Amino acid sequence: MQICDANIKILNCNARFPGSTHDSAIWDMSAVKRHLEEKYLTNELHSSWLIGYALQPWLLTPIENAEADPLSPQGRYTTQHILAKNVIERCFGVLKQRFRCLLKYRVLHYSPDRFAKIVWCCALCNTP
C-alpha cells in the first residue's frame, strides 16, 4: 500500500504483505486507517481526504454507474477522481523507472521480509 500527494511525494508505504494479499485486507490492518478513524471519531479530521475504494467517510470513492455527461456533477466528480487516481499510478511508474529492480520482470531472490525492506528503501529514496 502506498499513499502519495498530488506532487507524487510518497507519504506512506507499507510493503509488509505479499502481492496476493487483497488491498482491503492491507487497508484494514494499516496504521493510516486507524489514525484517520481516530481523527474522524474525535471530530479532528477536517481537511484530510484520500482517493480509494473502501467505504469510509473520509475516503473519496468513485460513483458507480455515474452519468457519462462530463458536465453533470457525477461526471465531473468521476473525471476528477480518475485524474487523482492517476497520480498514484504515475508514482508507481516513477518508482519502477528509478529502481528497475521493482519491475515485475526483474526477480529479486530475497526473503519476503528482506524484499519489503528493499521496497521501503526505494520509496524512501524516491521522496524529495
pLDDT of residue 82: 86
pLDDT of residue 81: 86
pLDDT profile of the chain (128 residues), mean per 10 = 89 85 88 87 76 77 75 85 89 86 71 82 76
Residue environment code for 66-93, b if the CB has 16+ CB neighbours within 10 A, otherwise e: beeeeeeeeeeebeebeeeeeebeebee
